[in-house]
Amino acid sequence: MSGLSPGFHGRGRALVDRLPPGQYPTESFPVLSIGPTPRVTTDHWAFTLTTETGSRRSWTWEEMMALPQERPVADIHCVTRWSKFDTRWQGVSLDVLLEEAETAADFVVAESFDGYTTNLPLEDVTDGKAWLAHSFDGYPLAPDHGGPARLVVPHLYFWKSAKWIKGLRLTVQDEPGFWETAGYHNYGDPWREQRHWNDA
Amino acid sequence: MPSPPSGASAWRTARLLSREPQISTGRTLRFTVPDWPGHLAGQHVDVRLTADDGYQAVRSYSLAAPAEGDTVELGVQAAPDGEVSPYLADVLPIGAEVEIQGPLGGWFIWTPRDAGPLLLFAGGCGIVPLMAMLRARRAAGSAEPCTLLYSARSPDEVWYARELADPGPAEEIRLIYTRQAPPGDPRTTGRVGAQDLAGLPEPGSARCYVCGPTGFVEHVADLLQTAGHPRELIRTERFG
Ligand SMILES: Cc1cc2nc3c(=O)[nH]c(=O)nc-3n(C[C@H](O)[C@H](O)[C@H](O)COP(=O)(O)OP(=O)(O)OC[C@H]3O[C@@H](n4cnc5c(N)ncnc54)[C@H](O)[C@@H]3O)c2cc1C
């Protein structure tokens, strides 16, 4: 290691156990998105689940808010290398939304109001691993953080947690989404540091 | 280090060739990176620092210019109490090495093949990847109109001042001062407003690139949409 970046000492090493490789902790909440923040209002909002056969089920904002609510607390990890500990969300578990879907699909594509897409294995959004979140830290989710509602899948890099989500599409074949076709890893496990296409 | 395989995921050793002041807290750094594969304007690299006990820290920095062989240029602004940027800006000795991974980013990019007028909006050190686009455009001799709208606190906070004072063909540079303007500047200081967008190419024809702190990017992207620029033609990058 000696010889590289001489005189660099760095900051805290205290939280290293909780940090995936190549990440650093931040107290702030940086924003990453590909274009302007879409202004999505809750009056015409709907969340649509589409199965591989094309059958659809939609929830209006009021219907979604009437579903059982959960308050997950999780560490989140952005591929731009910040991690934020103990983030507090409120929303509906995807298990609730997927409960009645008749499907043989193994994958989902999350679709957003701004045209953004991201793909995930179905098993990564079931069994208490993913939420449709509408509140952060006790307040309605701000537009630049994906409000009125976003996906939250804390165990994968945060680009998988689509902002401004409008629906999930169940697919038999895996369909790489926006970043997944623009050079980012198809799965995105922060603990295996799966950032880019070439990462194992 | 064993020599890494080629491709974005490989860490390469990068030797600091030169450091040149841009503004009081901003520096141009040039590194030699053996076997650098080349990059597109707008892309960035990850820079990794290693302390004596093996502790590592990584941050992203935009490439400020087209590559010249194995030499790449970064623009680093020292953040107050930052872990990485003050070290790069002021401590890393000339001739010493860091590690670099890249080029990264396949979205916030511009190539001379992208037709149509180009609109670049920079806030603070958000100028860095946009300067790469401007330089790539000049190098390609592009005849498409290009406007750079660059928001800086005051004249001594303007990066690349000499290069920007000498616009290329079909190129316009608009400097927007938020706190203190040079004597004779007809514009009242303050953040970018709708009036600063007057006379830009028609919405729908121009590609817009916006880069800087989150507040700046949000604000300008909103202004552009209000002015009728379709969101498909607005690309943003936020520096945190
Ligand atoms: C795609 C991309 C491209 C970028 N391109 C550039 C570029 O071209 N040029 C450029 O200069 N930057 C660029 N950045 C930003 C850069 O990656 C860093 O975020 C920036 O340099 C700050 O890093 P740092 O380690 O110096 O500061 P950090 O240590 O990350 O801290 C940032 C700020 O937060 C405060 N802070 C955070 N944690 C603590 C703590 N525990 N204690 C005290 N204070 C704290 C610090 O005071 C500091 O001001 C880019 C970012 C991205 C995502």
Residue type, B38: G
Nearest CA to ligand 1 atom 37: A26
Task: Return the CA Rg of chain B.
Answer: 18
Closest CA to A29 of A71, A93, A72, A88: A88
Output the tens digit of pLDDT for each of chain B's 240 residues: 233 334 456 899 999 999 999 999 999 999 999 999 999 999 999 999 999 998 899 999 999 999 999 999 999 999 999 999 999 999 999 999 999 999 998 899 999 999 899 999 999 999 999 999 999 999 999 999 999 999 999 999 999 999 999 999 999 999 999 999 999 999 999 999 999 999 999 899 999 999 999 999 999 999 999 999 999 999 999 986
Indicate whether this model's pTM tops 0.95: no
Q: A60 or B55, which is more confident?
A: A60
The pLDDT assigned to A14 comes to: 64
User: What CA–CA distances, in Å, run from B220 to A97, B150, B189, B217?
Assistant: 36, 11, 16, 5
- On the question of pLDDT at A3 being above 90, the answer is no
Which atom of ligand 1 has the smallest separation from the CA of B76? 11
Dist. CA B168–CA B171, nearest whole Å: 5
The pLDDT assigned to A99 comes to: 95
Q: How far is the CA of B206 from the centre of ligand 1 (A)?
A: 31
- Tens digits of residue pLDDT in A117-171: 999 999 999 999 999 999 999 999 999 999 999 999 999 999 999 999 999 999 9
* Partner-chain contact B92 A195, CB within 8 Å: no
The pLDDT assigned to A10 comes to: 87
Residue A71's φ and ψ, nearest 5 degrees, are -125, 75
The pLDDT assigned to A40 comes to: 93
Tell which phi-psi region holds residue A16, choosing left (phi > 0), alpha (psi between -120 and 50) or beta: alpha
Q: Which of B45, B217, B239 is the mutation pick for testing A, counting most A CBs within 10 A?
A: B217
The nearest CA of chain B is from the CA of A108 a distance in Å of 23
The pLDDT assigned to B85 comes to: 97
Dist. CA B10–CA B179, nearest whole Å: 42
The pLDDT assigned to B83 comes to: 94
Q: What is the DSSP string of B124-183?
A: GGGHHHHHHHHHHHHHHT--S-EEEEEEESSGGG-TTHHHHTS--TTEEEEEEESS-PPT
The nearest CA of chain B is from the CA of A66 a distance in Å of 32
Nearest CA to ligand 1 atom 30: B82
Which atom of ligand 1 has the smallest separation from the CA of B104? 1
Segment among A22-26, A177-181, B107-111, B203-207 with least mean pLDDT: A22-26
